[in-house]
Amino acid sequence: MFELNVFGEEVEFDHLGLALQSINDVIDGVKSVKEDTQKVSVAFIQIGGVKIELIEPLNENSPILTNLKNGQKLVHMCFRVPNIDASIKKARKFGFHCIRKAVPAVAFNNKNIAWLYSRTYGLVELLEK
C-alpha cells in the first residue's frame, strides 16, 4: 500500500461524517451535541472499530440539508493533525482548498477544526490534536 503524506506528519484517521434526518432514528436516546456555529447536532457511534459522526440538521439553515436533499449520506472524512495551519498549507500542494478556517468545535471539547475540499477526495475535516 502507498502512504500519501497529504496533511503532514503524525496524521491519524478520526471518523467519518454521516448525514441523517434524525439521530434518534438510528439510536434512540443517544446524547447529541448541538453545534450552533455549524447548525447541526452530532453524536458519535462506533461500528466495527470505525468512529462515525451522526450529523443532524439543527434548523432550516443547516448546510447538511443539502446533503440530505441530494441523498448524499456520507459527508466527510476527518483526520487528527498536530498543527492544523501546517496541515492546511501542506494539503494545498495536493489540490485541497480550505473552505472554512480553523474554529473551536463544541463536539471536540473546543479543539480547532477546519474544512478542506478536494475534487478527488471531497470534503475533509481536520481536527487539531
Please write the tens of the pLDDT for every residue from 84-120.
999 999 999 999 999 999 999 988 999 999 999 999 9
Give the CATH number of the domain where residue 17 resides: 3.10.180.10
CA distances from 103 to 14, 36, 70, 110, 119 (A): 18, 12, 27, 8, 23
Q: What is the spatial order of strands in the sheet that 122-128 belongs to?
A: 33-35, 40-47, 50-57, 12-19, 74-81, 122-128, 111-118, 97-105
Calculate what percentage of the chain has a pLDDT beyond 90.
81
Asked if residue 6 belongs to a domain, the reply is no
Asked if residue 86 belongs to a domain, the reply is yes
Asked if residue 91 belongs to a domain, the reply is yes
Number of domains in the chain: 1
Asked if residue 87 belongs to a domain, the reply is yes
Least confident span in 12-16, 20-24, 49-53, 120-124: 20-24
Q: Is the pLDDT of residue 35 over 90?
A: no
**Domain assignment of residue 25, given as a range:** 12-128
Asked if residue 92 belongs to a domain, the reply is yes
